[in-house]
């Protein structure tokens, strides 16, 4: 792949707010642009803003289309190199099919839809969930939560997972989210107004590349709506719902899923407690 240069700002400034453009290649991330529309068997979605990115995915705020009440959703697009190598889609779908009355059901990030997106970099799994805010982001916003309540709800979520035979294996602050009441009551326009217009940085290649279609026309900075809503989050800190998310390393012991044979050691459940012991991912 060729060498990259940027119109503005310089690369060392650039990569603080966006992912590296070198991650867009066959097997890598799908090039996403604002206002793109995606369709699945059960819904249609419009991309509105970028929320963030991880090691093998990027995450976007969007809205549902072709429904009486359009609502905000989160679209997680996973790098195509992961397709068929994790259980994330299957486990999200499996957990979402459990009874909503089940104890701890509300403490995992509910999956509304999953589908596959065929693009220039391969086949990408897309997971559509409800909006929530990562626990790791809250300290910098001055949002203080009752730590005992957070831990209590986290264990409710773990109990739900373990009762249904799911081991998370990658639980850390970035994979624990918080739903505030305003996320359920605010409309898409209100959230977008708080985040302001997406800041897009065009990128230009200084040399020819073999897969120009793999690249986006621009990279989008992460939305800053968390900063705008920080005062409201502080007001609603006593009314949160803790959500477990990101099942990219998860598996179901005793099944034929793709990670069960690779989990690296014995895994056992403590009967009657909802607790599980399993080696962490390597």
Gyration radius of the chain's alpha carbons: 19
Structure tokens at 150: 């957070």
- Helix, strand or coil, per DSSP, at residue 114: strand
> Is residue 100 marked as binding?
no
Closest CA to 183 of 229, 117, 152: 229
DSSP 281: P
Q: Which residues are CB-contacts of 72 (< 8 A; sequence separation ≥ 6)?
A: 61, 62, 63, 131, 183, 186, 187, 188, 191
In which element (H, E) is residue 127 found?
Answer: strand 122-129
> Cβ distance 140 to 187 under 8 Å?
no
Residues within the annotated binding site for ATP? 76
Residues within the annotated binding site? 76
């Amino acid at each position: 792949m060729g060498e990259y240069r940027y119109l503005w700002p310089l690369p060392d400034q650039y990569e603080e707010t966006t992912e590296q453009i070198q991650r867009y290649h066959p097997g890598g991330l799908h090039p996403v642009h604002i206002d793109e529309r995606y369709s699945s068997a059960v819904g249609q979605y419009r991309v509105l803003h970028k929320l963030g990115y991880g090691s093998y995915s990027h995450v976007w705020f969007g809205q549902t289309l072709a429904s009486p009440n359009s609502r905000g959703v989160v679209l997680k697009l996973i790098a195509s190199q992961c397709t068929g190598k994790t259980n994330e889609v299957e486990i999200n779908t499996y957990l979402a099919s459990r009874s909503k009355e089940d104890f701890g059901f509300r403490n995992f990030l509910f999956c509304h839809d999953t589908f596959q997106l065929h693009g220039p970099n391969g086949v990408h799994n897309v997971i559509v969930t409800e909006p929530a805010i990562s626990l790791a982001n809250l300290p910098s916003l001055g949002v203080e939560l009752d730590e005992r309540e957070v831990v209590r709800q986290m264990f409710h979520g773990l109990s739900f997972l373990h009762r249904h035979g799911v081991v998370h294996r990658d639980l850390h602050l970035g994979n624990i989210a918080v739903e505030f009441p305003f996320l359920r009551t605010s409309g898409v326009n209100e959230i977008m107004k708080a985040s302001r217009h997406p800041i897009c940085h065009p990128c230009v290649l200084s040399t020819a590349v073999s897969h120009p279609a793999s690249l986006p026309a621009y990279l989008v900075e992460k939305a800053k709506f968390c900063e705008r809503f920080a005062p409201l989050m502080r007001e609603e800190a006593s009314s949160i719902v803790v959500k477990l998310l990101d099942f990219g390393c998860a598996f179901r012991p005793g099944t034929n899923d793709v990670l069960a044979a690779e989990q690296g050691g014995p895994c056992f459940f403590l009967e009657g407690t909802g607790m599980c012991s399993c080696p962490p991912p390597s």
